[in-house]
């Protein structure tokens, strides 16, 4: 029985010609969860992989393979990613945010300025700046810088809460407008 690649519009068959071109074939994983991920990646309507279903090496990246041994194997946890899908199977592009509020919500929080930390007079040293540039998630070693970062985060949080409250109030007013009712104005300005 001939073995063909299960990918959409792929006609690679396991034979001497494909082997000479360096194409290898790989069975779908045995675990149900991983097999389901591969089936979804193939994007064939109603496709359910069986024990003989295969994908050829053209649907995987070069770094997905372990070529250290005599046989070419896939590394653990890889998914097929290279396909030539027709237009109706392509993933739609991610829509841009349309409102100013949603665009602002997607922006990262502003960085707080890190003021200089002063050492105690007993140590007799000049003021020095201590910042943790090793990792972005690390806390500053200076309490003043930490307080400034906290204040900036609290200010951004308060602003977002007010925007949320105002948006909910606008939504309630719009809903009640259709019912011919009025809502009191929002508390945040």
Residues 145-163, mean pLDDT to the nearest whole number = 89
Residue 86 reports pLDDT greater than 70: no
Q: Which residue has the tokens 């494909």?
A: 18
Q: CB–CB of 65/75 below 8 Å?
A: yes
* Local structure of residue 123 (DSSP, 8 states): G
Strand partners, 106: none
Higher pLDDT, 5 or 88: 5
pLDDT tens sequence across 116-146: 454 444 444 444 444 445 555 666 677 888 8
Residue 182 reports pLDDT greater than 70: no
What pTM value is reported for the model? 0.45
């Amino acid at each position: 029985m001939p073995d063909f690649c299960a990918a959409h519009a792929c006609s690679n068959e396991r034979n001497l010609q494909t082997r000479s071109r360096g194409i290898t074939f790989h069975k779908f994983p045995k675990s149900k969860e991983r097999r389901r991920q591969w089936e979804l990646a193939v994007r064939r309507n109603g496709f359910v992989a069986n024990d003989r279903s295969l994908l050829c090496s053209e649907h995987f990246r070069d770094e997905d393979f372990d070529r250290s041994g005599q046989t070419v194997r896939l590394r653990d946890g890889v998914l097929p990613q290279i396909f030539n899908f027709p237009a109706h199977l392509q993933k739609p592009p991610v829509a841009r945010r349309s409102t100013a509020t949603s665009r602002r919500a997607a922006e990262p929080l502003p960085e707080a300025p890190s003021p200089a930390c002063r050492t105690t007079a007993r140590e007799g040293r000049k003021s020095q700046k201590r910042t943790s540039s090793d990792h972005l998630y690390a806390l500053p070693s200076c309490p003043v810088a930490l307080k400034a970062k906290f204040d900036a985060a609290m200010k951004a949080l308060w602003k977002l809460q007010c925007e949320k409250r105002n948006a909910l109030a606008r939504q309630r007013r719009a809903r009640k407008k259709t019912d011919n009712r009025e809502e009191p104005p929002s508390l945040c300005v």
